[in-house]
A and B are shown apart, each in its own frame.
Chain A
Amino acid sequence: MTLSLGRVWAVARYELTWDLRKKRTYIILGMFLFAAVVFGYLFPIIGGNSIVTGTLLQGVNPGEGLWWVSAHNLAFNTFVSGLFPLFIGGFIAADSIGTEFDSNTIVPLLSQPVRRAEVYAGKVLEKVLLLLVVSTIFTLLVVAGSEASFGAQLHLEMIPLVVLAEFGAFLEFTALAFLVGSLVRSGATTLGILIAAFIVILATVLVVSLQTGEQEYMFLLPTVNADFLLKSTLYYIFQPFGVMVLDGCALGGGCASSIAVGVVSAVEYAVVGLLANLLAAFAAGYYFFRRAEVKG
Chain B
Amino acid sequence: MKAELGEGPSSGDSAFASTGPALEVRNLVKSYGAVPGVWDVNLTVRRGTLHGFLGPNGSGKTTTIKCIMGLLHSTSGEIKVFGEQLRGDAVELRHMVGYLPELPSFPKYLKGREVLSTYGRIRGIPDARLEGESRGLLNKVGLEKAAEKPVGNYSKGIQTRLGLAVALLGGPDLLILDEPTEGLDPVGVVDVRKMLKDLVSQGRTVLMSSHQLPEVQQTCSVVTVVKEGRTITQGSVEDLARRLHGGIVYKAEFDSLAPGLMDELKTVDGVSEVTSVEEDVVAVLMSKDYDLRPLLARLAVQHGSLLLSCEREETSLEELFISLVKETC
The interface of chain A, by Cβ under 8 A from chain B, is: 4, 6-7, 10-11, 13-14, 17-18, 21-22, 103-105, 107-117, 291, 293-295
Determine the residue in chain B with the shortest Cβ distance to A294.
Answer: B71
Contact A291 B73, beta carbon cutoff 8 Å:
yes
Identify the closest chain A residue to B114 (Cβ). Answer: A17
Which B34-80 residues sit within 8 Å CB-CB of chain A? 66, 69-73
* Complex contact B124–A7 (CB within 8 A): yes
Give CA–CA (A103, B159) in the complex, Å.
Answer: 14
Of the listed stretches B1-9, B101-109, B136-144, B299-307, name the one at the interface; the rest are far from the partner chain.
Answer: B101-109
Minimum CB–CB distance from B47 to chain A (whole Å) comes to: 20
Closest CB pairs A-B (n = 6): A113-B94, A21-B109, A104-B105, A294-B71, A10-B121, A115-B89
Q: Cβ of B110 < 8 Å from any Cβ of A?
A: yes
Closest to A122 in B: B122
**Using Cβ atoms and an 8 Å threshold, which residues of chain B touch A109?**
119, 122
> Which interface class (under 10, 10 to 19, 20 to 34, 35 or more) fits B?
20 to 34
Given contacts A21-B109, A294-B72, contact A112 B122 (CB under 8 A): yes
Q: Is B311 an interface residue, CB under 8 A from the partner?
A: no
Q: Decide: A107 and B71 in contact? CB cutoff 8 A.
A: yes
Q: Which residue of A lies closest to B95 (CB)?
A: A113
Nearest CB of A to B61, in Å: 14
- Judge if B221 is at the interface, Cβ distance under 8 Å: no
Q: Could you say which of A108, A113, A291 contacts B105, with CB atoms under 8 Å apart?
A: A108
| Shortest CB distance B198–A (Å) | 23
A108 touching B101, Cβ below 8 Å:
yes
Distance to closest chain A CB from B156 (angstroms): 13
Residue numbers in B under 8 Å from A104 (CB-CB): 101, 103, 105
Q: Tell me which of B66, B72, B106 contacts A108 (CB under 8 A).
A: B106
Q: What are 27 residue pairs bridging A and B, where the CB atoms are less than 8 Å apart in the complex? A: A7-B122, A10-B118, A13-B121, A14-B118, A14-B121, A14-B122, A18-B109, A21-B109, A22-B109, A103-B105, A104-B101, A107-B101, A107-B105, A108-B101, A108-B119, A108-B163, A109-B119, A110-B69, A110-B71, A111-B94, A112-B94, A113-B91, A113-B95, A114-B89, A117-B89, A293-B73, A295-B72
Q: How far is the CA of A113 from the CA of B119 in the complex (A)?
A: 10
Q: Does B99 contact A (CB under 8 A)?
A: yes
Q: Which residue in chain A gives the minimum CB-CB distance to B109?
A: A21
- Asked whether any CB of chain A lies closer than 8 Å to the CB of B166, the reply is yes
Q: Which residues of B contact A113 (CB under 8 A)?
A: 91-95, 97, 123-124
Contacts of B73 in A (CB 8 A): 291, 293
Q: Which of B72, B95, B99, B163 contacts A293 (CB 8 A)?
A: B72
B122's partner among A10, A103, A117, A294 (CB-CB below 8 A) is: A10
Kindly state the separation between the CA atoms of A183 and B121 in the bound complex, as whole angstroms.
28
CB <8 Å contact, B66 and A294:
yes
Cα distance, A17 to B113, chains bound together (Å): 14
Q: Is the interface of B mostly helix, strand, loop or mixed?
A: loop
- A111-B91 contact given A13-B121, A14-B122, A294-B71, CB 8 Å threshold: no
User: Which residues of chain A have C-beta atoms less than 8 A from B72's C-beta?
Assistant: 293-295
Query: Are A112 and B71 in contact (CB-based, < 8 A)?
Result: no
Q: B101's closest neighbor in chain A, by CB? A: A107
Distance A114 CA – B90 CA, assembled complex (angstroms): 8
- B89 and A17 contact, CB distance less than 8 A: no
In the complex, what distance in Å separates the CA atom of A116 from the CA atom of B122? 12
Pick the residue among B91, B99, B107, B121 that contacts A115 (CB under 8 A).
Answer: B91
Using known A-B contacts A17-B114, A107-B101, A295-B72, determine if residue A112 contacts B107 with beta carbons closer than 8 Å.
no
A22 to B109, CA, bound (A): 8
Task: Tell which of A4, A11, A103, A110 touches B70, judged by Cβ atoms closer than 8 Å.
Answer: A110
A105 to B152, CA, bound (A): 12
**Cβ of A114: which chain B residues have Cβ within 8 Å of it?**
89, 91, 94, 122-123
**Which residues from A are CB-within-8-Å of B106?**
105, 108
* Chain A residues within 8 Å of B107, by CB: 18, 103, 105
Chain A residues closer than 8 Å to B89, beta-carbon distance: 114-117
B104 touches A107 (CB 8 A): yes
Would you give the shortest CB distance from A293 to chain B, in whole angstroms?
5
Question: Which residue of chain B has its CB nearest to the CB of A293?
Answer: B72
Cβ distance B36 to chain A, nearest Cβ, rounded Å? 14
Q: Which residues of B contact A17 (CB under 8 A)?
A: 109-110, 114, 118
B123 touches A112 (CB 8 A): yes
**12 additional contacts (CB under 8 A) given A17-B118, A22-B109, A111-B101:** A13-B121, A14-B122, A17-B114, A104-B101, A105-B107, A108-B101, A110-B69, A111-B99, A113-B95, A293-B72, A293-B73, A294-B66
Given A11-B122, A17-B114: A108 touches B109 (CB 8 Å cut-off)? no
Contacts of A22 in B (CB 8 A): 109
Cα(A14)–Cα(B121), bound, Å: 9
**Distance, CA A76 to CA B136, complexed state (A):** 52
Closest to B104 in A: A108
> What's the least CB distance linking B37 to chain A, in Å?
9
Asked if residues B119 and A112 are in contact (CB atoms below 8 Å), the reply is yes
Bound-state CA distance A14–B123 (Å) is 12
Q: Enumerate chain B residues within 8 angstroms of A293, measured Cβ to Cβ.
A: 66, 71-73
Least Cβ distance of A170 to chain B in Å?
23
CB-defined contacts of A13 to chain B, threshold 8 Å: 118, 121
A115 to B73, CA, bound (A): 14
Collect the chain B residues with CB atoms within 8 Å of residue A11's CB.
122
Hey, which chain A residues are within 8 Å of B70, CB to CB? 110-111
Please indicate the chain A residues that have their CB under 8 angstroms from the CB of B103 in the complex.
104
Interface centre among B92, B104, B118 (most CB of A within 10 A): B118
Q: Which residues of B contact A115 (CB under 8 A)?
A: 89, 91
